[in-house]
Amino acid sequence: MEGVDHLADERKKAEFNVEAMKIVWAGSQHNLEVSNRISKLVADDPAFRKDDRTMLPRKELFKNTLRKAAYAWKRINELRLSEEEASKLRFYVDETAYTDLHWGMFIPAIKGQGTDEQQRKWLPLAYKMQIIGCYAQTELGHGSNVQGLETTATFDPHTDEFVIHSPTLTSSKWWPGGLGKVSTHAVTYARLIIDGKDHGVHGFIVQLRSLEDHRPLPGITVGDIGMKFGNGAYNTMDNGVLRFDHVRIPRNQMLMKVSQVTREGKYKQSDVPRQLVYGTMVYVRQRIVADASCYLSRAVCIATRYSAVRRQFGSQNGGPETQVIDYKTQQSRLFPLLASAYAFRFVGEWLEWLYTDVMQRLQANDFSTLPEAHACTAGLKSLTTSVTADGIEECRKLCGGHGYLCTSGLPELFAVYVPACTYEGDNIVLLLQVARFLMKTVSQIGTGKQPVGTIAYMGRIEHLMQCRCNVQRGFAELSADLVEAAVAHCQLIVVSKFIEKLQQDIPGEGVKQQLEALCGIYYLSLLHKHQGDFLATSYLTPKQSALANDQLRALYSKVRPNAIALVDAFNYSDHFLSSILGRYDGNVYPKLYEAAWKDPLNESVVPDGYHEYVRPLLKQQLHTARL
Ligand X SMILES: CCCCCCCCCC/C=C\CCCCCCC/C=C/C(=O)SCCNC(=O)CCNC(=O)[C@H](O)C(C)(C)COP(=O)(O)OP(=O)(O)OC[C@H]1O[C@@H](n2cnc3c(N)ncnc32)[C@H](O)[C@@H]1OP(=O)(O)O
Catalytic positions, written as ranges: 424
Q: How far apart are CA 218 and CA 245, in angstroms?
A: 8
Restricting to residues 417-436, name those near ligand X by CB under 6 A: 423-425, 429, 433, 436
279: contact with ligand FAD by CB under 6 A: no
SS3 state at 268: strand
Count residues near ligand X (CB under 6 A). 35
Stretch of 282-290, 475-483, 493-501, 591-599 contacting ligand X, by CB under 6 A:
282-290
Q: How far apart are CA 434 and CA 422, in angstroms?
A: 16
Report the residue from 234, 350, 414, 572 that binds ligand FAD according to the rule CB under 6 A. Answer: 234
Q: How far apart are CA 220 and CA 165, in angstroms?
A: 10
How distant, in Å, are the alpha carbons of 472, 475, 535 from that of 478?
A: 10, 5, 21
For residue 234, the partner it binds in ligand X, ligand FAD, none, with Cβ less than 5 to 8 A by kind, is: ligand FAD
Smallest gap from Cβ 255 to ligand FAD, in A, equals 15
For residue 357, the partner it binds in ligand FAD, ligand X, none, with Cβ less than 5 to 8 A by kind, is: none
Q: How far apart are CA 181 and CA 534, in angstroms?
A: 52
- How many CA atoms are closer than 13 Å to the CA of 109, on its beta-carbon side? 27
Q: How far apart are CA 65 and CA 48, in angstroms?
A: 10
Amino acid at site 392: I
Question: Is 302 within 8 Å of 577 (Cβ atoms)?
Answer: yes
Cα–Cα nearest to 439, from 491, 484, 486, 495:
486
Stretch of 136-144, 253-261, 324-332, 366-374 contacting ligand FAD, by CB under 6 A:
136-144
Q: How far apart are CA 337 and CA 518, in angstroms?
A: 10
104: contact with ligand X by CB under 6 A: yes
| Nearest to ligand X of 435, 540 (CB atom) | 435
Q: How far apart are CA 220 and CA 225, in angstroms?
A: 15
Restricting to residues 369-388, name those near ligand X by CB under 6 A: 370-371, 374
For residue 100, the partner it binds in ligand FAD, ligand X, none, with Cβ less than 5 to 8 A by kind, is: ligand X
77: contact with ligand X by CB under 6 A: no
244: contact with ligand FAD by CB under 6 A: no
How distant, in Å, are the alpha carbons of 114, 151, 198, 255, 272 from that of 265?
A: 19, 19, 13, 15, 20
For residue 281, the partner it binds in ligand X, ligand FAD, none, with Cβ less than 5 to 8 A by kind, is: ligand X
H or E element in which residue 154 lies: strand 152-156
Stretch of 54-62, 170-178, 351-359, 367-375 contacting ligand FAD, by CB under 6 A:
170-178
How distant, in Å, are the alpha carbons of 14, 76, 308, 562 from that of 325?
A: 15, 41, 5, 12
Stretch of 138-146, 251-259, 492-500, 578-586 contacting ligand FAD, by CB under 6 A:
138-146
For residue 90, the partner it binds in ligand FAD, ligand X, none, with Cβ less than 5 to 8 A by kind, is: ligand X
Report the residue from 16, 62, 92, 103 that binds ligand X according to the rule CB under 6 A. Answer: 103
Q: How far apart are CA 538 and CA 609, in angstroms?
A: 66
Report the residue from 173, 209, 243, 287 that binds ligand X according to the rule CB under 6 A. Answer: 287
232: contact with ligand FAD by CB under 6 A: no
Given 3-state DSSP classes, what are the helix, strand and coil percentages for the chain, each rounded to the nearest 5?
60, 10, 30
348: contact with ligand FAD by CB under 6 A: no
Phi-psi region of 152 (alpha: psi -120 to 50; beta: other; left: phi over 0): beta
Smallest gap from Cβ 419 to ligand X, in A, equals 8
Q: What is the DSSP letter of 283?
A: H
The sign one gets for the Cα dihedral 161, 162, 164, 168 is positive
Cα–Cα nearest to 245, from 172, 308, 339:
172
Restricting to residues 144-173, name those near ligand X by CB under 6 A: 144-147
| Nearest to ligand X of 372, 393 (CB atom) | 372
Q: How far apart are CA 342 and CA 498, in angstroms?
A: 8
Smallest gap from Cβ 144 to ligand FAD, in A, equals 3
295: contact with ligand FAD by CB under 6 A: no
Cα–Cα nearest to 75, from 108, 33, 107, 44:
44
283: contact with ligand FAD by CB under 6 A: no
Restricting to residues 394-423, name those near ligand FAD by CB under 6 A: 419, 422-423
Question: Is 403 within 8 Å of 396 (Cβ atoms)?
Answer: yes
| Nearest to ligand X of 99, 113 (CB atom) | 99
Restricting to residues 511-540, name those near ligand X by CB under 6 A: none
| Nearest to ligand X of 135, 355 (CB atom) | 135
Q: How far apart are CA 42 and CA 574, in angstroms?
A: 11
224: contact with ligand FAD by CB under 6 A: no
Stretch of 62-70, 133-141, 322-330, 378-386 contacting ligand FAD, by CB under 6 A:
133-141
What x/- string results for residues 236 through 275 when contact with ligand X is judged by CB under 6 A?
Answer: ---------------------------------------x
CB atoms within 10 A of CB 274: 14
Task: Compute and round to an integer the Cα radius of gyration of the chain.
Answer: 27
Smallest gap from Cβ 98 to ligand X, in A, equals 10
- Contact residues for ligand FAD, defined by CB under 6 A: 101, 135-138, 143-144, 175-177, 234, 239, 419, 422-423, 425-426, 428-429, 432
- Contact residues for ligand X, defined by CB under 6 A: 76, 83, 86-87, 90, 99-101, 103-105, 135, 137-138, 144-147, 177, 275, 278, 281-282, 284, 287, 370-371, 374, 423-425, 429, 433, 436, 440
